[in-house]
Amino acid sequence: MPLVRIDALRVDKARLEALGRAVHEALMETIGIPPDDLFQVLVGHDGVNSTLRYGDYLGVHRDEGIVYIAITLRAGRTPDRKRALYRRIAELAEQYAGTEPRNVFVTLTENASIDWSLGNGVAQYVPSSTD
Please report the pLDDT score of residue 130 as a whole number.
55
The full DSSP string for 105-131 is: EEEEEEE-GGG---STT--TTSPPP--
What's the rounded mean pLDDT across residues 109-125? 90
Cα separation, 65 vs 92, whole angstroms: 15
Please identify every residue annotated as catalytic: 2
Q: For the full predicted model, state whether its pTM sits above 0.75.
A: yes
Q: For the segment 58-75, what is each residue's pLDDT rounded down to a tens digit?
A: 999 999 999 999 999 999
- Greater model confidence, 85 or 125: 85
Cα separation, 68 vs 31, whole angstroms: 20
